Structure 1
């Protein structure tokens, strides 16, 4: 494993243990050249997934991109990192278990919306504003109105 600090390829594993939800192996590593310590995760990947974008492009599924979009939606929200990681693992498992190698970006967005709805309402609205392409304040008002109607039922 290459050191992310000095790019040296000679690193050593100091400690390995499963993550809390047993979905990955967490490895603490040490760089022999610069002395830096860093963590890597090893996960099972059932199949290569391709995301079919709205414009017709096909791109490889990137778990890190999913993590970044959730980090943005959940920024400064009181949600534990462990709950976020469980949500991401659940979404990835659902995508892999669909049996398809190509997944519409709409499907991924819908799964993220479902997960955020149960996790944090503010993050849910933040994500929805990008996912549903809100352009004006009235788009937010309409969305929030529909949310309150559903919660009253």
Structure 2
């Protein structure tokens, strides 16, 4: 578990434009650390994080990305904020094209099926995400009206988010 003070500082800095820019640059390093630690260390352990592997909608190749998540019962909830960029992240577009994916959480690989949340379900899940990472609200403003996709990733084959 991360040091609470460091986690709180990180959550406050998440609203800053420079923080999002720096974090985007560090994502490739975070991918490498996540792979080397088999998903045990993602985002330096500062927020609940997973590695998602989707199938590239154009290439057909596996594509991995570290993401913040919140648990929701047996599932994982993620947001396609792309740090507030005008375009959605590629992993979200990949899930829209093919909802089958794999997440790696604390070293466990779990096959999941993505469901794009809408309406009241999206509002509820968005509330969970914003409680964990308040900067998501800032990212929505920066995205200039682009919808931020919220996905509920449900394990297939009996695994759960809480295992």
- TM-score interval w.r.t. the shorter chain? under 0.3
Please give the TM-score of this superposition, normalised by the length of structure 2: 0.23
Q: Which has the higher helix share?
A: 1
Higher gyration radius (CA)? 1
